[in-house]
Amino acid sequence: MTEVKNHKVEGKDDVILSPHYKKILNALMPPTCMSIEKHKYAYPASVHINSDNRIVEAKFSLEKYTENPTKYIHNLGQNYKKLYERGEVKACGIVYTGVIKLSRTKQQDAIILKLDSGDSYPIIFIQKFKVRSGARGKVVFDEIECEIGEPLLPKQDLK
């Protein structure tokens, strides 16, 4: 996994990633990719940049995640929203694996990383991957795609 710098987003010029976004992206993606390469799966993870500009990792609950993965991811976003409103979070990121629908009949596994800060566009990075069949089951990662996503945090006026 190489360090991510800037990406093209449909309908926008190159998206210049803020230092916060780069920090979060590079904290979450490499361990997720390594877990998938080694175990063929990865549990969700999330971090945020606190008011002191430090990365803080959220605690993970396997029990709550396995009860309802969608609700678990949603609740992570809601928790960050509350922390942001109290001034405790500058930016946050949530990474998880999912299935991306490619067509009516085709789908593919993917790493999904949602990044957000109150003063920037929310960005979603998607990295599709395939686990090759065979004894070793090598993982092949596609290029990272990038798009504007739904906000996790309240927005200031964005131009």
The pLDDT tens digits of the residues spanning 72-87 come to 888 888 898 899 889 9
Q: Give domain limits for the chain.
A: 8-148
pLDDT band at 122 (very low <50, low <70, confident <90, very high): confident
Window from 2-11, 30-39, 72-81, 82-91 with minimum mean pLDDT: 2-11
pTM of the model: 0.81
Confidence of residue 1 (pLDDT cuts 50, 70, 90): very low
Q: What's the pLDDT score for residue 158?
A: 43
Q: How many CA atoms lie within 13 A of 74 on its CB side?
A: 4
What DSSP string runs through the chain? -PPP--EE-TTSSEEPPPHHHHHHHHHHHHHHHHHHHHHS----EEEEEETTS-EEEPP--HHHHHH-HHHHHHHHHHHHHHHHHTT-EEEEEEEEEEEEE-SSS-EEEEEEEEEEETTS--EEEEEEEEE--SSS--EEEEEEEEEE---SS------
The sign of the CA dihedral 59, 62, 67, 69 is: positive
